[in-house]
Structure 1
Amino acid sequence: MFMLNPNPDYRKALDPADAETLSVAEAREVERFLGFRQGHKPTPLVSLPALARELRVGAIRIKDEGHRLGLRSFKALGGSYAVIRLVLEEAGKQLGRKVDISEVQSPEVKAVAEKITVSCATDGNHGRSVAQGAQLVGANCAIFVHSGVSDERIAAIASFGAKMIRVEGNYDDSVAEATRTAEANGWTTVSDTSWPGYERVPSLVMQGYTALMSEALREMPEPPTHAFVQAGVGGIAAAVAGHFSVLYGDKRPFLTVVDPARAACLFESAKAGRAVKVEHGEATVMAMLECYEPSLVAWRILSRAADAFMTVDEEDAISVMNRLARPTGGDPAVVAGESGGVGLAALIKVAKDENLRAAAGLTETSRIFLINTEGATDPALYEKLVGISPDQLAA
């Protein structure tokens, strides 16, 4: 399903707070902060010229977050950055002065950090990022995972020293339990989704995602004309849409938000004209996108700055994993997890349908920006779906 943005606030200016969060100045500061993490470096921007010719567009470039700092996900940016910011702010309060990122390993900051516990609910990737940030600054960390999170993903989070807490039910159930427990224990919730009265921390998480935008835009000879960005609660899509809006205003790229058909909370919100919660049904293979209620901050941005909303099916996600693993025409292979290639799956559906091409304004000169939001974060499942291990493919 494909739908142009029908909301009455479409193309209105961003809320001033959101515009500041996703500004160029803040994006530069994000990169400075993240540069203090050991091993931090830009991820590749991969060009797919053969696929572009097949889909009758000018260029396809995909930012490959499967290489992000060992976590194999763009979420290595947001949660980690938010934890660092929050700990430094608390240190500043206790020390009575502004504390810079350059002091993150100082004894004074460590003494503050070791008394802080950060926590969140996760499908896998966000929790790893929060745990990694906590490990960097020396804070304690508790991560809540629902019953659908695989043992491999749980082990990957625990490797950063986090206490793991299992919750029966789905992602939304784990969010509720994480919030309740954090309030009872005085922990700091570092969530990538927002709700009434809880917006600043998710905004910091989104702000962390601007690092990948800064990296990508520096490499592009020209800005993109179109972007297809997958969404769970909407954080990464809102970060991209909002940053484009700040940079380019009315000349920003045409941005399509992509949901799994089985968890289409943003598509349904666009249709309803307000943020809505959708019913939980059969699980989707796109596990990192299996969210049933949008982040309010993300929805506020996307209702204004997204141009279209669409859904893709289970077979689309699996097909594009295989397509990226076995490219034709000399294109490089890309290891994309179950949720990683969803933006490309949407592009393929739109590009091959003349009516949808016209609706999205796709032409033979269009320059497409995509994000491989995750690599093989569950290697065993990747091999099952693609027929080759990620290590073999990388080799």
Structure 2
Amino acid sequence: MILLNRRPEHRQPLVAADASALGLAGVDEAERFLSHRQNHAETPLHALPALAAELGVGSLHLKDEGLRLGLGSFKALGGSYAVIRLVLEEASKRLGRTVDVTELDESDVRAIAAGMTFVCATDGNHGRSVAQGAGLVGARSVVFVHSGVSDERVAAIARFGAEIVRVDGGYDHSVRQAAEVAAARGWTVVSDTSWPGYERIPGLVMQGYTVIVREALRHLPKPPTHVFLQAGVGGFAAAIAGHLAIVLGEDRPMVTVVEPARAACIFATAEAGRPVKIPHEEPTVMAMLECYEASPVAWRILSRVGDAFMTVEEEDAVAVMNRLARPAGDDPAIVSGESGGAGLVGLVRAAASPDTRAALGLDAYSRVLVINTEGATDPGRYAELVGMAPEDVLLQTA
């Protein structure tokens, strides 16, 4: 299913708060913070000429976040960045001076961080990022996980020292419970979704994601004409699309937001014209996108810079995982987790439909960018779906 954006605010400027979070100054700050991370390195941008030819587009590039900061996901850029920013702000307030990221290891800063507790809800990847950020600064982290999060993903969060709290129900239940417990105990919620009165911290999380765009634009031969972005609550898609709109202006690409048909809260929001919650909570193989309530801040951005919204099916996601693992021609082999290739799934589905190609202006001259948002964050599940261990996939291009 595809829905073009007919909202009156479509292609209007971002509101001031969103433009500030996602603009040039914001990405400068995020990159500066990253430069102080010991394992920071730009993630690769792969050209996929064989797949581009199959799909009938001029070029296809994939930005691979499966290697980001040792966490295997783009989420490494959001939660940990927000945690570090919040610790420095608290230290600045208590010490009566501006505290810079270069001072994170100073004893007085670490003493302040040690008294702070950061809490979040997660499908897996965001929790690891928050836990990693807390560990870097010496703070405590508590991560709420719902019943659909695999034991392997929970163990990966716990390895960073987080306290794990299991929650019955789905992701949205865990978000609410995390917020309630944090409010009662004076903890700081670091969420990648927003709600009334809680917008700034999700804005910091999204600000971290803008680094992906800056890195990609540095290495693309020309800016993309089309971008397909996966969405859970919408924060990632909003960050990427918002920054592209700010940087490229009228030359910005056509942005298509892609979701699992079973958890399409942004699609439903686009239909309704306001943030909505899907009444059912049906699980999807695209587990990191298993969200049923749109982030209001993300929708505020996407209503302006999202050009189309579409849904994809379970079997399509698995097919793309396998296609990336077994490439044609000179395309590299890429490890993409269950949710990582959802944007590419959208492109594959769009390219196969003459009507959708026409609606999106997709043709033999299109320059398409997609982002692999995660690698094999659950290696056992990956091997089950692809029939190869992730390390064996990578050996093909070693």
TM category, shorter? over 0.9
Secondary structure (helix, strand or coil) at the match of 1:142 reads: strand
In structure 2, distance between residues paired with 1:272 and 1:114: 44
In structure 2, distance between residues paired with 1:292 and 1:204: 22
Paired AA for residue 66 in structure 1: G
Deviation at residue 194 of structure 1 after TM alignment: 0.1
RMSD over aligned Cα atoms: 0.7
2:289 corresponds in structure 1 to 289
Which runs of structure 2 are paired with 1:66-85 in the superposition (5 Å)?
66-85=66-85
- After superposition, give the CA deviation of every residue in 1:239-298 in whole Å (9 maximum; x if it has no partner): 011001111222210000001100000001101111111122321000000000111110
1:31 corresponds in structure 2 to 31
1:125 corresponds in structure 2 to 125
1:143 corresponds in structure 2 to 143
2:235 corresponds in structure 1 to 235
In structure 1, distance between residues paired with 2:285 and 2:221: 35
1:217 corresponds in structure 2 to 217
- Residues 277-286 or 85-94, more deviating: 277-286
Moved over 3 A (4+): none
2:116 corresponds in structure 1 to 116
In structure 2, distance between residues paired with 1:63 and 1:372: 6
Paired AA for residue 217 in structure 1: L
In structure 2, distance between residues paired with 1:143 and 1:345: 30
Matched, 1:194 2:194: yes
- After superposition, give the CA deviation of every residue in 1:120-161 in whole Å (9 maximum; x if it has no partner): 000000000000000011111100000110110001000111
Which runs of structure 2 are paired with 1:214-363 in the superposition (5 Å)?
214-363=214-363
How many pairs align?
395
In structure 2, distance between residues paired with 1:54 and 1:99: 52
Secondary structure (helix, strand or coil) at the match of 2:257 reads: strand
Contact 2:281 2:292 in 1 (8 A): no
Matched, 1:154 2:154: yes
In structure 1, distance between residues paired with 2:147 and 2:55: 39
Contact 2:344 2:370 in 1 (8 A): yes
- After superposition, give the CA deviation of every residue in 1:157-210 in whole Å (9 maximum; x if it has no partner): 001111111011100111111011101110000000000000000000000001
In structure 1, distance between residues paired with 2:281 and 2:239: 28
Structure 1 unmatched ranges of 5 or more: none
Contact 2:263 2:282 in 1 (8 A): no
In structure 2, distance between residues paired with 1:352 and 1:149: 33
In structure 1, distance between residues paired with 2:70 and 2:3: 36
1:17 corresponds in structure 2 to 17
Secondary structure (helix, strand or coil) at the match of 1:69 reads: helix
Secondary structure (helix, strand or coil) at the match of 1:249 reads: helix
In structure 2, distance between residues paired with 1:321 and 1:280: 26
In structure 1, distance between residues paired with 2:130 and 2:185: 18
Paired AA for residue 248 in structure 1: L
**Percent identity of the aligned residues?**
64
In structure 1, distance between residues paired with 2:141 and 2:34: 19
Deviation at residue 71 of structure 1 after TM alignment: 0.8
1:60 corresponds in structure 2 to 60
In structure 1, distance between residues paired with 2:276 and 2:10: 17
TM-score (norm 1): 0.99
Contact 1:65 1:373 in 2 (8 A): yes
Deviation at residue 387 of structure 1 after TM alignment: 0.2
In structure 2, distance between residues paired with 1:240 and 1:58: 22
Paired AA for residue 115 in structure 1: G
Contact 1:37 1:136 in 2 (8 A): no
In structure 2, distance between residues paired with 1:357 and 1:22: 29
Secondary structure (helix, strand or coil) at the match of 2:256 reads: strand
Contact 1:6 1:273 in 2 (8 A): no
Secondary structure (helix, strand or coil) at the match of 1:119 reads: strand
Deviation at residue 54 of structure 1 after TM alignment: 1.1
Deviation at residue 108 of structure 1 after TM alignment: 1.2
TM-score (norm 2): 0.98
Deviation at residue 8 of structure 1 after TM alignment: 1.7
- After superposition, give the CA deviation of every residue in 1:353-395 in whole Å (9 maximum; x if it has no partner): 1111010001111100100000000000000000000011122
In structure 2, distance between residues paired with 1:75 and 1:37: 15
- After superposition, give the CA deviation of every residue in 1:289-339 in whole Å (9 maximum; x if it has no partner): 000011111000000100000000000110100010001112111100000
